[in-house]
Amino acid sequence: MGNANVIKQALLALEPTEGCWLTLASPAVAETVAHCGFDWLVVDMEHAPNDIGNLVAQLQAIDAARVHGASSSAVVRVTSNDPALVKRAMDCGVQTVIFPNIDNVEEAQRAIASMRFPSNGNGGTRGVAGLVRAGNYGQDPGFVAMANDQVCAVLQIESAEGLKNVEAIAALPGADCLFIGTADMAASLGHLGDTGHAAVREAVAAVIAACQIANKAVGIFAGSPDEAAAYRKQGVQFIALHSDVAWLARGARQARAQFKALL
């Protein structure tokens, strides 16, 4: 579990990557999608029926795919900015965590600290344990010493308050990527359900600009390949090309429509 975090390396180098959301709580789906060439897969614990048990199962499935040549790395979005939840997810073997609803510097600092074991006054608050999956169940003697170097914090900016504080959040050491939550941003700005509203587009541009000033990566969830390409041209590095559930539903509808058209 103590491997170098390739997601963090890409983010720090401002290299473009793409992934998708896993929302179906299915190890089989996770393993299948891991063979599709994505750089990363997000096990979503905020808006999907994922618990700690099937998080582990999906991490194992993604790792199994990697043994057979897949290149996807696992990410988890925790339910909230709660150190107890972060600790449990990381003990399961996650190195990259997406934190929802980061509104200010204090919340961002709390998130960053929750990923790190205390060491040399670094402010870390993560509880220390070696007998966990992340440390190969106690069989990786270097796990605790090396873990802090590989953690990666992706902080979601998805409110008017977060937008107001975005430059200060982006400037924080340890804020490896700011991820724009367009749906919640639209609601916070008074435009529920309208992620294409001009105010939301302006917010997206403001977050991208703040990240460029701070030399930090920025991420977003794209509703379509066309939207993803547009975001890439705007300077977004970390792009989610939607989700397992969307592709399942879309593929089923398309197959049925094609069948009906042939009759």
CA distances from 13 to 145, 176, 214 (A): 24, 10, 13
Domain range summary for the chain, segments of one domain joined by +: 6-261
Q: Which pLDDT score, from 0 to 100, does residue 130 have?
A: 85
Nearest-angstrom CA–CA distance, 85 and 216: 25
Nearest-angstrom CA–CA distance, 236 and 247: 22
Catalytic residue among 47, 68, 191, 242: 47
Active-site annotation holds for 197: no
- pLDDT, tens only, 40-52: 999 999 999 999 9
Mean pLDDT by 10 residues, the chain (263 residues): 87 98 97 97 97 97 93 97 97 97 98 96 93 95 94 98 98 98 98 97 98 98 96 98 96 96 95
| Exposure letters 69-87 (e unless 16+ CB within 10 A, then b) | ebebbbbbbbbebebebbb
For the chain, give me the number of helices (H) and strands (E)? 12, 8
Backbone angles phi, psi at 48, to 5 degrees: -140, 160
Contact 52, 92 (CB under 8 A): yes
- pLDDT, tens only, 87-129: 999 999 999 999 999 999 999 999 999 999 999 889 999 999 9
Q: Which pLDDT score, from 0 to 100, does residue 49 have?
A: 96
Q: Which pLDDT score, from 0 to 100, does residue 106 have?
A: 98
Contact 156, 219 (CB under 8 A): no
CATH of domain 6-261: 3.20.20.60
Q: Which pLDDT score, from 0 to 100, does residue 171 have?
A: 98
Q: Which pLDDT score, from 0 to 100, does residue 1 have?
A: 55
Q: Which pLDDT score, from 0 to 100, does residue 3 have?
A: 81
Nearest-angstrom CA–CA distance, 200 and 185: 7
pTM of the model: 0.96
Backbone angles phi, psi at 215, to 5 degrees: 60, 45
